[in-house]
Amino acid sequence: MRRAAALAFLALAASLAGCNRGPEAGLAVEDAWVRLPAVAGRPGAGYFTLRGGPAADRMAAIDSPSAARAELHQGGKMDGMMTMRPINGVDLPSGGRVAFAPEGDHVMLFGIDPAIKPGGTMRLQFRFRSGETRQADARVVAAGDPAPSFAP
């Protein structure tokens, strides 16, 4: 009887070893936030961190039901000036992280719904080349406010 119980336990443990360990082990969007524009009608900017799953993938697009259009942009500095250019996606290595942050890569959000206010959230939808999708409720901050802090 003990042998049968031990074998059953080992079979269960082996089957669970191959399972996804929950949301912390897979493709995810973390720490999403949006900075509203200083001037109404201008675009806002979105920031977040992507966490790769078990296989490499590529984030192909972002959209939001609260924005007319979203564009991925690569940001940087040249000759002391901030620059940006549209990009058509970003590679996400298996198990890796890619951050979209101020003064770097970001998403430009055009035609933001006027109902979106600081202190609220804005739904962002992420589409990946693999066909995977993820949603995140991004914290919304005003143009002059500091970036939100996210607890580890």
> Which CATH number does the domain housing residue 57 bear?
2.60.40.1890
Is 74 within a domain?
yes
pLDDT greater than 90 at residue 23: no
**What percent of the chain shows pLDDT beyond 90?**
71
Residues 36-39: contacts with CB under 8 Å, at least 24 apart: 36/112, 36/116, 36/118, 36/140, 36/141, 36/142, 36/143, 37/112, 37/143, 38/143, 38/144
Place of tokens 């959209």: 63
Using the predicted structure, report yes or no on whether residue 21 has a pLDDT greater than 50.
no
Quote the domain boundaries for residue 130. 25-141
Is 33 inside a domain boundary?
A: yes
Confidence of residue 15 (pLDDT cuts 50, 70, 90): very low
pLDDT at 17: 39
User: At 33, which amino acid appears?
Assistant: W
Confidence of residue 85 (pLDDT cuts 50, 70, 90): confident
